[in-house]
Chain A
Amino acid sequence: MNEKEKTPLIQVENLKKYYPIKGGIITHTTGLIKAVDGVSFSIMEGETLGLVGESGCGKSTIGRQLVGLESPTEGRILYEGKDLSKMGKRELAGIRTKLQMVFQDPYSSLNPRKHIYEILAQPMLYHHISTAQTVEKDLLRILDMVGLPRNVLGRYPHEFSGGQRQRIGIAKALSLNPRFIVCDEPVSALDVSIQAQILNLLKSLQEELHLTLLFVGHGLGAVNYVSSRIAVMYLGRIVEMGEAKEIFRNPHHPYTQALLNAVPVPDPEEKGRKRELLQGEIGNSVNPPSGCHFHPRCPYAAPICSQKEPGLQEICAGSSHFSACPIVQAKKEESSRG
């Protein structure tokens, strides 16, 4: 089969998720939080797509839709080319175990009343991934993979540190032999020294097990480390997407540029570097700015930006680097011509 024509493992088409706001004296829907406002992307098997953006941009929401915690308001999610919303209950149940999640907060992701053996083994036994005879062996194999000793099985979550709990959380996600894992800011709640360990673990697991990952984060450094491709989100929409290296080398969208600018550079020569600080506050997802959501804070804003919603365009043909800023695109085309 031609490499190029392989079906992506995950495809998201025009995903929208709106949450109703209830208010008023007689409770009714007074508004909508447009957490995700038309997002499309695909992830090939074995890839890691990094999803970056400020808090409130909708990245965690996308993760929740993909693992089935919530259903999209509009749009489609395709797994191996099949539409999840059109599947029957049986088929869906079979696919559920293939789509797993690692949570941000290691302290609430494990049931405090159960010991690790129960936490890990119960789903495995329920789904007949292991039998009572094989489960211990399987567990030890998984613990080995995440770098935990066998004696954690008899202990309780409160006995472990954040980093160890996160390893257990990863083990839990792996225990069902998933093909796709959403990592929802898995290192944001950990000490900096531990973060590197967990990121390395995720990277090596991905290679070893040929996993597909969606890595959600707001720290560009961490996301870049594990991702092959990155998508930058702002207020419910993707504003730039492309290969990780390319985005770092050649940020296109003004928001991406600002994000990169904000990353501290440990180089004394860079002291005088001009930093473009973003003006204004992040918009509100109930009443987002018209047209391009970023225009109130954008240094390049033009009148058209508040009128027309820009879609993702490929910057140059075949680069697979997409951006949603026609202004920068126009400038680039101008300068390359002149």
Chain B
Amino acid sequence: MGKNKKGIKDITSESYLQTIGRRFRKHHLAAVSFVVLIILGGAALLAPVIAPYDPDAIVGPFSGAPSREFWLGTDQIGRDVLSRLLYAMRISLLVGIMATLISTVIGVILGLVAGYFGGVIDMVLMRFTDMVMSFPYILLVLVAAAIFKPGLWNIIWILGFVDWPGIARLVRGNVLNLRETNFVKGNLIAGMPLRHILFSEILPNTVAPILVYATSVLALSMLDEAALSFLGMGVQPPTASLGNMLNGAQSLTVLTKQPWLWVPAGLLIVVLVMAINFIGDALRDALDPNSGRNS
């Protein structure tokens, strides 16, 4: 797709990606969100370069108010809030993205297998999916965190392992439909091997809904990481995450007298998650021509 096939490409044809890009840009909110995410993501990535102070170093007064020296003030033990915020964003994004990747990979593989092979395999996998889906998400995560001890990578794996059922269901449904299409059958008749059918014919045709679903998984994972860390069951201090930076707000003093300690972190979560949601929404409209919005 999009490769140069010895100059055969016609100028007036539009590749699939280009069509999506064009439709996506029409969604103003999403375009803004995209820019915002690039900025914030870039900031997170470049945290070691642009943070004014070492996030773990004690550099200022206890709970100092925002000043020229410390733009967002200092926390209870004197660390620069702004620096911590940048690193926290890094961690939260890392958790969200990794967890989403893990659950997507698991979900896609299980969905492909269940949908394509059908029969007993499908039934067993789907029952298992039902079982996992029955447990309320948060409870599973909390319990797992309790058993396996909280920590950065533990959280990532736990969130990843709890989220795959939705994707598996989605992929399976698509595979069931695609299996019956003539182009898949045509390739079967042409004797193409299984790996080609699954990964070259079927999978690319389900990427669109997977991508949309994955954005909502990303948003949810970030919210969950925040909640877990807030409760103390997620990323552990001294590592900063957007969630555990809000932990201090449980004390009344912090809540009322020192808003710079918790409000920025919370706002950042809201902005990030909202941006991701807008993009996911726009992606869904862009990828599905029948969604009801003009393209």
User: Which A residues are closer than 8 A to B by beta carbons?
Assistant: 67-69, 93, 96-97, 99-101, 103, 105, 108-115, 117-119, 122-123, 126-127, 136, 150-151, 153-156, 159, 169, 172, 176
Contact = CB atoms under 8 A, between A and B. Distances in A.
A203 B187 CA distance: 24
Given A114-B204, A127-B191, 6 more contacts: A108-B181, A111-B201, A113-B205, A119-B183, A153-B5, A169-B186
Contacts of A115: 1, 5
B189 A99 contact: yes
B192 A153 contact: no
B22 interface: no
8 contacts: A68-B189, A111-B201, A111-B204, A112-B205, A126-B193, A155-B13, A156-B16, A172-B190
A172 B186 contact: yes
A103 B186 contact: yes
A67 B13 CA distance: 34
B13 A154 contact: yes
B189 A122 contact: no
A108 B183 contact: yes
B69 interface: no
Contact of B190 (A96, A118, A154, A159): A96
A155 B189 contact: no
A154 B189 contact: no
Contacts of A93: 191
Question: What are the 8 tightest A-B residue pairs by CB atom distance, in nearest-first order?
Answer: A154-B9, A109-B182, A96-B191, A123-B190, A154-B8, A103-B182, A111-B183, A108-B182
Contacts of A119: 183
Contacts of B6: 136
B219 to A, nearest CB: 27
Contact of A101 (B5, B10, B16, B186): B186
B134 interface: no
B8 A153 contact: yes
B185 interface: yes
B29 interface: no
Contacts of B205: 111-113
Contacts of A176: 190
Contacts of A109: 182-183, 186
Interface in B152-203: 181-183, 185-193, 196, 200-201
A111 B185 CA distance: 11
Interface in B189-239: 189-193, 196, 200-201, 204-205
A182 to B, nearest CB: 9
Contacts, number: 80
Contact of B13 (A108, A113, A156): A156
A153 B6 CA distance: 10
A139 B187 CA distance: 17
A110 B196 CA distance: 15
A122 to B, nearest CB: 7
A156 B16 CA distance: 9
A97 B8 contact: no
A123 B13 contact: no
Contacts of A151: 8, 10
Interface in B1-42: 1, 5-6, 8-10, 13, 15-16
Contacts of B5: 115, 117, 153-154
B62 to A, nearest CB: 59
A123 to B, nearest CB: 4
A97 B190 CA distance: 6
**By CB atoms of chain A within 10 A, which of B5, B6, B182, B193 has the most?**
B182
A111 B190 CA distance: 14
A34 B50 CA distance: 73
B13 A159 contact: yes
A153 B10 CA distance: 9
Contacts of B182: 103, 105, 108-109
A122 B186 contact: no
Nearest to A119: B183
B189 A150 contact: no
Contacts of A118: 1
Nearest to A127: B191
Contacts of A122: 192, 196, 200
B183 A150 contact: no
B8 A110 contact: no
Contacts of A112: 205
Given A110-B183, A113-B204, A126 B192 contact: yes
B189 A101 contact: yes
A67 B189 contact: yes
Given A151-B10, A154-B8, A123 B191 contact: yes
Contacts of B193: 126
A69 B185 contact: yes
A97 B9 CA distance: 29
B8 A117 contact: yes
Contact of B191 (A97, A156, A169): A97
A103 B183 CA distance: 9
A69 B9 CA distance: 34
